[in-house]
Amino acid sequence: MRLTFLLLLSASVVLSMIYYVPTDVTLPDELYLSSGSKSVNFQYLVFSNEPDIVILLKGWIFSPTNWIEERSFNVVATGEDFKHEFTVKGVRKGIYFYMPQHLFVLPANTKSITVNGVPIELPRKLSFSTKRINVGAPETGLAILNEFMKETQDFKAGEKIFLRIDAGRKNTGGYDVRIEDLKLVGSTIIVKAYVVSPAPGAMVTQVITYPSILVEITDTLPPGYYTVKCTLIDTSEKLFQTRFEVR
């Protein structure tokens, strides 16, 4: 994904400015978040919110009435001292009007983004602490744990919430799991983690290891259902997803 992102920006996007451009880059659907309903829905992928907001945005409107031949999508970005509007022409395909995917670069102090009045949730960073686990699970994965280190999907308000990210089996020591980013977008917690490999020629223990990291979310989450999406970067990228509820 990082390579794709750099290719997108290389087209002439200059940061610290307001910019948008159509792009036909194809990324897995599970990477996108969505907002809307069964009749109007928009999908988006936030690459960055510092020093600028960089976001991919696309969507569709259910429109079975054939006599409507044209429809536009109105994207509005608002901050404390600005309001910018963009118009994207829709493309009819069968009973839907599609908003072609666009890459937007917006100021970091953008407070809200809407498309035809539908709000697009912007990310906020979550506070967290981490602890290395010497022996994790034998397979790569993500688990939700309570303070007793039991897997669960049900928490009372104020209870401690832990994420365990496992890198799986490694043939030697010297591996580690680290967190690159942890943020909340609407009711979705997005985690980016990566595996640190031992340097070539480094002295490491010649035993099988299962590196893992325990992440405590130290922010208080309000009651509701939460989806956790975790990208683990090792020799390849893997995406894990699970849910839990705070009552």
Q: What distance, in Å, lies between the first and last C-alpha atoms of the chain?
A: 35
* Of 77, 104, 120, the domain-final residue: 120
Write down the mean pLDDT value for the chain: 90
Q: Is the peptide bond before 222 cis (omega within 30 degrees of 0)?
A: no
Place of tokens 């928490």: 155
1 within domain boundaries: no
Mean pLDDT of 74-81: 94
pLDDT at residue 69, rounded to an integer: 81
Mean pLDDT of 9-38: 77
Q: Structure pTM?
A: 0.76
Spatial CA neighbour of 180 closest among 166, 196, 194: 194
Q: Do 96 and 167 lie in a common domain? A: no
30 within domain boundaries: yes
Q: Do 148 and 216 lie in a common domain? A: yes
Helix/strand/coil for 4 = helix
Q: Do 114 and 129 lie in a common domain? A: no
* Of 89, 120, 151, the domain-final residue: 120
The whole domain housing 174 covers 125-246
145 within domain boundaries: yes
Spatial CA neighbour of 54 closest among 100, 17, 103: 103
Mean pLDDT of 207-220: 96
Q: Do 101 and 144 lie in a common domain? A: no
pLDDT, tens only, 92-140: 999 999 999 999 999 988 999 999 999 999 888 899 999 999 889 999 9
Instruction: Report the DSSP beta bridge partners of residue 112.
Output: 78
Comparing 36 with 6, the larger pLDDT belongs to 36
Q: Do 24 and 102 lie in a common domain? A: yes
Q: Do 163 and 115 lie in a common domain? A: no
Residues near 83 by Cβ (< 8 Å), separated by ≥ 6?
76, 77
Structural domains in the chain (count) = 2
3 within domain boundaries: no
Mean pLDDT of 216-234: 96
Return the structure tokens found at 109: 């102090």
Q: Do 139 and 108 lie in a common domain? A: no
Q: Do 193 and 234 lie in a common domain? A: yes
- pLDDT band for 30, please (50, 70, 90 cuts): confident
Instruction: Report the DSSP beta bridge partners of residue 233.
Output: 194, 237
pLDDT, tens only, 129-179: 999 998 899 999 999 999 999 999 999 999 999 999 999 999 999 999 999
pLDDT at 66 over 70: yes
Contact between 114 and 202 (Cβ < 8 Å):
no
Q: Measured in whole angstroms, how far is the alpha carbon of residue 196 from the centre of its chain?
A: 21
Q: Do 166 and 229 lie in a common domain? A: yes
Q: Do 134 and 233 lie in a common domain? A: yes
Tell me which of 17-21, 58-62, 79-83, 232-236 is least confident.
Answer: 17-21
Looking at residue 152, its amino acid is T
pLDDT at residue 7, rounded to an integer: 44
7 within domain boundaries: no
Residue ranges in 10-85 assigned as alpha helix (H): none
111 within domain boundaries: yes
Q: Do 109 and 137 lie in a common domain? A: no
Strands (E) across the chain are located at 19-22, 33-36, 40-48, 52-62, 72-78, 83-89, 91-93, 96-107, 112-115, 118-120, 124-125, 128-133, 140-145, 154-155, 161-167, 176-185, 188-196, 212-217, 224-233, 237-246
pLDDT at residue 31, rounded to an integer: 85
135 within domain boundaries: yes
pLDDT at residue 221, rounded to an integer: 95
Q: Do 27 and 132 lie in a common domain? A: no
Mean pLDDT of 181-194: 94
Spatial distance between the Cα atoms of 238 and 247, rounded to a whole number of angstroms: 30
* Of 65, 90, 120, the domain-final residue: 120
| Helical (H) or strand (E) element with 5 | helix 2-9
Q: Burial code of 131-160, b = ≥16 C-beta within 10 A, e = fewer?
A: eebeebbeebbbbbbbeeeeeeeebeeeee
47 within domain boundaries: yes
